[in-house]
Amino acid sequence: MIRAVINQEGLVINRVVVDKVTDWLPPDGCSLLTEQQSVKANIGDTWDGSKIIPQSISEVPKPRNLEAEIDELKARLDDIQAVRM
């Protein structure tokens, strides 16, 4: 059976085949999800404590606030120009 290995942050770091005979344990600081929990798990996905969050969803960047960034850059430019005068 294929099982997902997660680190302390809940990131899926590996998928391993574990049979009922093997007493394999994950590395220190890692956990092994159940077979059912591991079904949709891929390396790079995140375990939120109850379900797998696919990497493509968990890594969606936050939208940038371009107006605020422009205002900050204008203020920095004003500061630089004031120092030069």
Q: Provide the token pair at 69.
A: 């960034």
Residue-wise pLDDT tens digits, 40-74: 999 999 999 999 999 876 566 678 889 999 999 99
What element of type H or E holds 12?
A: strand 12-17
Strand-strand pairing, 2-6 and 12-17: antiparallel
pTM: predicted TM-score of the whole model, two decimal places: 0.63
The answer to whether residues 40 and 3 touch, using CB atoms and an 8 Å cutoff, is: no
Statement: residue 13 has pLDDT above 70: yes
Listed by start position, the domains of the chain span 2-60
Statement: residue 14 has pLDDT above 80: yes
Q: Nearest-CA neighbor of 14 among 69, 67, 25, 82?
A: 25
DSSP 3-state of 32: strand
